[in-house]
Amino acid sequence: MTEPLFGSLNPGPAPASRRLCAVEDIPDGGAKGFPPPPGGFTGLFAVRRGARITVYVNACPHLGVPLDWAPDRFLSVDRRHIMCATHGALFEIADGRCVHGPCYGAALEQVLIQVNGGTVWVPEDAGL
């Protein structure tokens, strides 16, 4: 008797994910914040440099508070770093590592994303 071809060869369903936004919702050279999903406590934010998008949990590694001081305000004045509004810590945009401030050497929690057809997807539990 021949076994069916699926089974161990079947990768199974894709991990649960949720739509974050369209790529064009994030201003090129800027950032955008997203509130927590229903039942969540911590939101996310995205930074875009052309086609490169990075998404982080909106919680400073110093005290765990949100980084933005106003809606969508996550970057330093020169837009070269992510900046925490509470004590001014600066983080690398590419990897979230703190390069200045009280949490020097710590890092923001980066969220793995998928971009399909101009839409940004994040894991279902990101930012909860």
* Alpha carbons within 13 A on the beta-carbon side of 87: 14
The 3-state secondary structure of 27-82 reads: CCCCEEEECCCCCCCCCEEEEEECCEEEEEECCCCCCCCCCCCCCCCCECCCCCEE
**Distance (Å, whole) CA 128 – CA 120:** 17
**Least CB distance to ligand FES at residue 98 (A):** 8
Applying CB under 6 A, among 87, 110, 114, 125 the residue interacting with ligand FES is 87
Q: Which is nearer to ligand FES, 18 or 87 (CB)?
A: 87
Nearer to ligand FES, 33 or 37 (CB): 33
CB 4, min distance to ligand FES, A: 54
Contact yes or no for 37/126 (Cβ under 8 A): no
From 3-11, 16-24, 49-57, 84-92, give the range in contact with ligand FES by CB under 6 A.
Answer: 84-92
Stretch that binds ligand FES, among 29-37, 41-49, 99-107, 115-123 (CB under 6 A): 99-107
Of residues 8 through 67, those in contact with ligand FES by CB under 6 A are 60, 62-63, 65
CA distance 20 to 74: 17
From the CA atom positions of the chain, what is the Rg in Å? 17
Chain residues in the site for ligand FES (CB under 6 A): 60, 62-63, 65, 84, 86-87, 89, 101-103
